[in-house]
Amino acid sequence: GAVVSQHPSRVICKSGTSVKIECRSLDFQATTMFWYRQFPKQSLMLMATSNEGSKATYEQGVEKDKFLINHASLTLSTLTVTSAHPEDSSFYICSAFRTGATYEQYFGPGTRLTVT
């Protein structure tokens, strides 16, 4: 089946530093990838839509200068949390939309970010 990976799975960083999270589709091409954020005991919140070769589309309320998204290839999207603060601590999950398959998305395992 379709597999999506994320790296790292866990990261702890100090306040003010930047952290990059990678999302890869391992056995299929993904023109579109999505980034979600999940707070404890809550559902996933869509942050942005990442399209290969173009700028990401951010959901209302999500700071695009703080959460930089790059979709450099059909199998890789990255999310960079810039100047991280403790309130950015969260679980970040990506999903990849299989190119050519109607509305099929596959989720990565998530990245736990802790900002101290």
Partner 1 sequence: SQQGEEDPQALSIQEGENATMNCSYKTSINNLQWYRQNSGRGLVHLILIRSNEREKHSGRLRVTLDTSKKSSSLLITASRAADTASYFCATAGNDMRFGAGTRLTVKP
The site for partner 1 (CB under 8 A) is made up of: 34, 36, 41-46, 49, 91, 93, 95, 102-110, 112
Rounded to a whole number of angstroms, the minimum distance from the CB of residue 19 to partner 1 is 18
Q: Which is nearer to partner 1, 82 or 112 (CB)?
A: 112
We find the least distance from the C-beta atom of residue 14 to partner 1, in angstroms, to be 22
How far is it, in rounded angstroms, from Cα 87 to Cα 81? 12
- Provide CB contacts within 8 A for 35, sequence distance 6+: 23, 46, 47, 48, 50, 67, 69, 77, 79, 92, 93, 94
Nearer of residues 19 and 23 to partner 1, judged by Cβ: 23
Taking CA atoms, 96 is separated from 5, 13, 74, 116, in Å, by 10, 26, 10, 30
The DSSP letter of residue 95 is: E
Q: Select 8 or 16, whichever has its Cβ closest to partner 1.
A: 8
Task: Give the separation between CA 24 and CA 88, rounded to whole angstroms.
Answer: 22
| Nearest residue (CB) to partner 1, 35 versus 88 | 35
Least distance in angstroms from the C-beta of 74 to partner 1: 18
- Shortest separation between residue 29's beta carbon and partner 1, angstroms: 18
